[in-house]
């Protein structure tokens, strides 16, 4: 009998499979399809202080091996999430969820973190630093170690629960940014967020997406995600949630060998709403195939030969 459970920042998960933020709504929407309690946890839709309508349409462009999106953090705002979405989730999911927080200033990150930290439904705060810093000319917090660390420091001061910083891959040195966040108190790192990409409509001779560029996700980005998880595992001594292109039980094992403690499934949920339970069901067979008894034992295993 194999053991799929893992310990993530003090939480014991039945398995490491977690739907990624932005691909699973606020969780309760999927309860009509299957029992959500089979999941390790759920990373909820990105939440900001104020409601956001998001970017203009069209927001989605298909491409080989994935898709490009520019949704623009559409969400009802943190107060509505607390008052409406979390109670709905608690009725159908009986494990700690992961709150995904975005912001446009350090103060906004800290305020949202404090509010969600107080909720019993939430076990981990995942801080998306891919947002533009309105006080720095629109440069994303996550592209600069100092700015990412400032967010990590402020959130840690405002919250008691574990804080994971979700990093953008659109940088030169992902390990340096991860290390700065850990030095500032982060309890873990999530990576990677989407790559930057675009598509052009040949008939219109113009970008498909109204915002021109968007986040490229899907199976095609798995090698990039693996490389960055590997690099960050070598640079910091905190748990990593690996994501980017994960679509199979074998991908989960590969991510964990690279250094991930838990693995998020993103764009695959949009292609196949049953992706996560199918991956979870396939994990024991894949573990037996590769001689793995305890999944937790393989974390970072590829670094040791």
Average pLDDT across the chain, whole number? 95
**The dihedral of CA 260, 262, 247, 191: what is its sign?**
negative
Which residues are annotated as catalytic? 131
pLDDT at 139: 61
Q: Are residues 23 and 71 in contact, defined by beta-carbon separation less than 8 angstroms?
A: no
pLDDT at 111: 98
- pLDDT tens digits along 163-188: 999 999 999 999 999 999 999 999 99
- Which residue from 246, 238, 257 is spatially nearest to 189, judged by alpha carbons? 238
* Terminal Cα-to-Cα distance of the chain (whole angstroms): 25
Does 136 score more than 80 pLDDT? no
Q: Are residues 240 and 284 in contact, defined by beta-carbon separation less than 8 angstroms?
A: no
Pairing of the two strands 214-217 and 195-197: antiparallel
- pLDDT tens digits along 237-274: 999 999 999 999 999 999 999 999 999 999 999 999 99
Alpha-carbon span 200 to 33, nearest angstrom = 35
Q: Are residues 63 and 219 in contact, defined by beta-carbon separation less than 8 angstroms?
A: no
Residue with tokens 């199918």: 278
As a three-state string, the secondary structure of the chain is: CCECCEEECCEEECCCEEECCCCCCCCHHHHHCCCHHHCCCCECCCECCCCECCCCCCCEEEECCEEEECCCCCECCHHHHHHHHHHHHHCCCCCCEEEEECCCCHHHHHHHHHHHHCCCCEEEEEEECCCECCCCCCCEHHHCHHHHHHHHHHHHHHCCCCEEEECCCCCCCHHHHHHHHHHCCCCEEEECCCEEECCEECCCCEECCCCCCEEEECHHHHHHHHHHHHHHHHHCCCCEEEECCCCCHHHHHHHHHHCCCEEEECCHHHHCCCHHHHHHHHHHHHHHHCCCCEHHHHCCHHHHC
**Structural domains in the chain, sorted by start:** 6-304 (3.20.20.70)
Whole-prediction pTM: 0.96
Does 134 score more than 70 pLDDT? no
- pLDDT tens digits along 93-133: 999 999 999 999 999 999 999 999 999 999 999 999 987 65
- Which residue from 89, 87, 93, 101 is spatially nearest to 13, judged by alpha carbons? 93
Encode 140-161: b = buried (16+ Cβ within 10 Å), e = exposed.
Answer: bbbbbbebbbbbbbbbbebbeb
- Which residue from 203, 210, 112 is spatially nearest to 163, judged by alpha carbons? 112
């Amino acid at each position: 009998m194999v053991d799929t459970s893992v310990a993530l920042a003090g939480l014991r998960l039945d398995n490491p499979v977690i739907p990624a933020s932005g691909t699973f709504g606020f969780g309760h929407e999927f309860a009509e399809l299957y029992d959500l309690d089979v999941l390790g946890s759920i990373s909820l839709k990105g939440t900001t202080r104020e409601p956001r309508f998001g970017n203009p349409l069209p927001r989605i462009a298909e491409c080989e091996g994935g898709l490009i999106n520019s949704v623009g953090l559409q969400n009802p705002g943190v107060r509505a999430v607390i008052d409406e979405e979390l109670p709905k989730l608690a009725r159908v999911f009986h494990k700690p969820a992961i709150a995904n927080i975005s912001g446009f200033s350090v103060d906004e990150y800290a305020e949202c973190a404090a509010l969600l930290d107080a909720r019993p439904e939430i076990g981990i705060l995942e801080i998306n630093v891919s947002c533009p810093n309105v006080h720095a000319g629109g440069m994303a917090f996550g592209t600069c170690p100092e700015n990412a660390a400032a967010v990590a420091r402020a959130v840690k001061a405002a919250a008691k629960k574990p804080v994971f910083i979700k990093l953008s891959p659109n940088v030169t040195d992902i390990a340096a940014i991860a290390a700065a966040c850990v030095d500032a108190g982060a309890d873990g790192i999530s990576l990677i967020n989407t790559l930057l990409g675009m598509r052009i409509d040949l008939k219109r001779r113009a970008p498909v997406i109204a915002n021109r560029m968007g986040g490229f996700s899907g199976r095609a980005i798995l090698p990039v995600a693996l490389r960055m998880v590997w690099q960050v595992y070598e640079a910091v001594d905190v748990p990593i949630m690996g994501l980017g292109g994960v679509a199979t039980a074998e991908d989960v094992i590969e991510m964990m060998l690279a250094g991930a403690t838990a693995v998020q499934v993103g764009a695959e949920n949009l292609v196949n709403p049953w992706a996560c339970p199918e991956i979870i069901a396939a994990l024991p067979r894949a573990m037996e195939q590769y001689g793995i008894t305890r999944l937790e034992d393989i974390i970072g295993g590829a670094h040791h030969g």
